[in-house]
Amino acid sequence: MKNDRSTLLLLCAALVIAAALSAFKIIDSPSFGGLEATSVRLTRFDAAGSDKEESRGKININTAGVDELASLEDVGEIKAKAIVEYREKHGAFRSADDLTRVEGIGAGTVNKNRDRITLD
C-alpha cells in the first residue's frame, strides 16, 4: 500500500513538472537551456482597472507617444507624459540614461527597461 502511494505521488509530481516545462515551452524549444521567447504579450491593468495588451518590443524614446512610453516597466501615463514634455522642451535624448533627468524616472527604471529602449 505504501509503495502504491509513493508511486502515485511520483507520477503526479512528474505530470506537474511536465506541465510546467510545456507551459514555458522548454520541452519542445530548440534552445533547451533558456526561457527565450521571440514575442511576449502581457496583460497590464491600468489605473481604471481595464486591461490592455502590450507588446514587449523596442521603444524609441525620442519618437514614442505617451501610450508607448507608458508600456515601459514602472512608467505609467503620468511619467510617460513627463517624458514627452521633457523631450519637447529639451530636445532628443542622447542616451537611455538621459531619462533620469525626467522627474520621477530613476536609474532603476532605466535599468529595468534598458533592453527595450532605443534612440534611433
DSSP H helices, the chain, are 2-23, 66-70, 77-90, 107-113
Q: Are residues 48 and 31 in the same domain?
A: no
* Interval 21-47: pLDDT, tens: 666 555 444 444 544 444 344 445 545
What's the CA gap between 36 and 7, in Å, rounded? 33
Q: Are residues 9 and 48 in the same domain?
A: no
Cell numbers at 34, concatenated:
533558456
* Interval 88-115: pLDDT, tens: 999 999 999 999 999 999 999 999 999 9
* Interval 41-89: pLDDT, tens: 444 554 545 444 445 689 999 999 999 999 999 999 999 999 999 999 9
Confidence of residue 9 (pLDDT cuts 50, 70, 90): confident
Domain that residue 20 falls in: 1-38
Q: Are residues 30 and 47 in the same domain?
A: no
What's the CA gap between 68 and 77, in Å, rounded? 9
Q: Are residues 68 and 46 in the same domain?
A: yes
Q: Are residues 45 and 32 in the same domain?
A: no
What's the CA gap between 23 and 16, in Å, rounded? 10
